[in-house]
Amino acid sequence: MFNRRYRCSALASATALSVFLGAPAAMADGVASQISKAVNQGDIDLMFRYRYETVDQDPLGKDADASTLLSRITMKSGMVRGFSGLVEVDNVSYLGGESFNNTANGKTQYPVVADPDYTQVNQAWLGYIINRNARVTAGRQRINHSGERFLGSVAWRQNEQTFDSARTQLTPLPGLTVDYSYIWRINRIFDPDTGLGDFPGNTALGEYEGDNHAVYVNYDLGGSHNLAGFGYVLDIDELPNLSSRTWGVEYKGVAKVSADVSLGINLSAARQYDYGDSALNYSAPYYFGEVNAMMTPVRMNAGAAVPIPLVFGVGYEVLGSDDGVSFQTPLATLHKFQGFADKFLVTPPNGIRDGYLKAGITLYGVAFTAFYHDFEADRGGDDYGDEIDLVANYPINANFSAMLKYASYQEGDLAAARDTDKIWLMLTATF
């Protein structure tokens, strides 16, 4: 695995070392001084995230119980002549038994909890700030576009999704930003050594390789209003039928209704086509609309007015279908969409429509949020079931936080999506 995943890094390191050793003494002293400056002005961060996840899924006879710990160290250098670097190493360990299907252990009698146990370089990149309006970054890195519907790091899972890529971020005009990445490898949330056919029923791939392009262009209209365009051209070697080109636009804005009431509005539309070596021939639409009413009434506590943040939202998302071929978002942070039970990570052939309601309140420092989803096919009218999601987040202090989360999906007419209940308890420490 080392040779396959890190041979380029090893070659680059060896080359750099040979150049350094062959340099004149004065140059070596200068390089050493710059390295010392980068180290002395750098930062080291630690993060530990414990999670217990249990899954009850029909028709499997056994429930999944996963107790996992993510340990992360992030080392970032100081800035030297516009250059900076970052190395981040993750370890995921199992605490207790392995009573779940991690997609690589062959335990298909259990529901899936897609958290492999291993150590990896999560990020390793070198960045250069050309000027105040231009920055480039090359290496393994985290990339999140907008709400992560099309490109995201899947940070919910213990093993994050990162991208081996070259990224350019520009601000050519005031208010206008351009973010372009060429991605040659997607390091997914699964075990990097798994692949199609590793054991019966396995459909996970730890990596995608290919020539992939991602661009997000945003214009700040002022007054909390933004208009953006995006494009994703994917050419995936391992699964050619996931190769596609997607073009779309989105609007995000906040409108003030009164002193303590505002409306958040998110709108998006896109169209996806086959691309590259795909054997498919399709043109599928995507539509999304969400409105959130945000309020801050107050309650009296010992004579003092304490704000109580409230939010009520309604949304509707459509991933369409064209003659049995559906709109797919394989590089998204999928857990954020279509319910936390993750029943629709792959869009069904007839597409999907997700109408949902949400409500949230923050009391005594705990943020409570509830969702209700109603799913149906985009074509054919099949009922795909419904789901209730509940979340409680508690930031204990600057270093510790806790989360309790519940998802209950009730099946409909889709044979691949069966009744599922999931519970998560998560404790996070950052230093």
Q: 211 vs 234, 238, 281, CA distance in Å? A: 7, 12, 20
pLDDT digits over 375-407, tens only? Answer: 999 999 899 999 999 999 999 999 999 999 999
| Contact criterion met (CB below 8 Å) for 327 and 284 | yes
pLDDT digits over 67-101, tens only? Answer: 999 999 999 999 999 999 999 999 999 998 899 99
Task: Please state the rounded mean pLDDT for residues 119-129.
Answer: 97
Q: Round to whole Å and give the CA distance between 333 and 151.
A: 7
pLDDT band for position 306 (cuts 50, 70, 90): confident
- Neighbouring residues of 327: CB distance < 8 A, sequence distance ≥ 6: 270, 272, 284, 285, 286, 319, 320, 321, 347, 351
The pTM score is 0.88
pLDDT band for position 41 (cuts 50, 70, 90): confident
Task: Please state the rounded mean pLDDT for residues 19-23.
Answer: 44
Q: What is the DSSP letter of 112?
A: B
Give φ, ψ of 6 to 5 degrees. -125, 15
Worst-scoring range by mean pLDDT, 74-83, 176-185, 189-198?
A: 189-198
Whether 7 shows a pLDDT value over 60: the answer reads no
Amino acid at the residue 89:
V
Amino acid at the residue 177:
T
Task: Please state the rounded mean pLDDT for residues 235-263.
Answer: 95
Whether 115 shows a pLDDT value over 80: the answer reads yes
Burial call 147-157: b when 16+ CB within 10 Å, e when fewer:
bbbbbbbbbbb
Worst-scoring range by mean pLDDT, 37-46, 124-133, 379-388, 408-417?
A: 37-46
> What pLDDT does 16 receive?
40
The pLDDT mean for the chain works out to: 91
> What pLDDT does 243 receive?
97
Whether 9 shows a pLDDT value over 60: the answer reads no
Q: Round to whole Å and give the CA distance between 391 and 371.
A: 9
The helix or strand, by DSSP H or E, that contains position 269, with its residue range, turns out to be strand 261-274
- Which SS3 state, helix, strand or coil, does residue 368 take? strand
pLDDT band for position 44 (cuts 50, 70, 90): very high
| Closest C-alpha among 107, 114, 117, 31 to residue 70 | 117
> What pLDDT does 129 receive?
97
> What pLDDT does 28 receive?
58
> What pLDDT does 2 receive?
36
**Top-confidence residue, 41 or 8:** 41
Whether 354 shows a pLDDT value over 60: the answer reads yes
Q: Round to whole Å and give the CA distance between 199 and 97.
A: 21
Residue 170: strand pairing partners? 134, 178
Strands 43-57 and 225-234 turn out to be unpaired
Residue 422: strand pairing partners? 55, 407
pLDDT digits over 151-162, tens only? Answer: 999 999 999 999
pLDDT band for position 3 (cuts 50, 70, 90): very low
Worst-scoring range by mean pLDDT, 207-221, 289-303, 360-374?
A: 289-303
Whether 302 shows a pLDDT value over 80: the answer reads no
The phi-psi region of residue 201 (left if phi > 0; otherwise alpha if psi is between -120 and 50; otherwise beta) is: left
The phi-psi region of residue 350 (left if phi > 0; otherwise alpha if psi is between -120 and 50; otherwise beta) is: alpha
The phi-psi region of residue 276 (left if phi > 0; otherwise alpha if psi is between -120 and 50; otherwise beta) is: left
User: What whole-number percentage of the chain has pLDDT above 90?
Assistant: 79
pLDDT band for position 297 (cuts 50, 70, 90): confident
> What pLDDT does 183 receive?
98
Amino acid at the residue 399:
N
The position carrying tokens 């052939």 is 349
- Which SS3 state, helix, strand or coil, does residue 396 take? coil
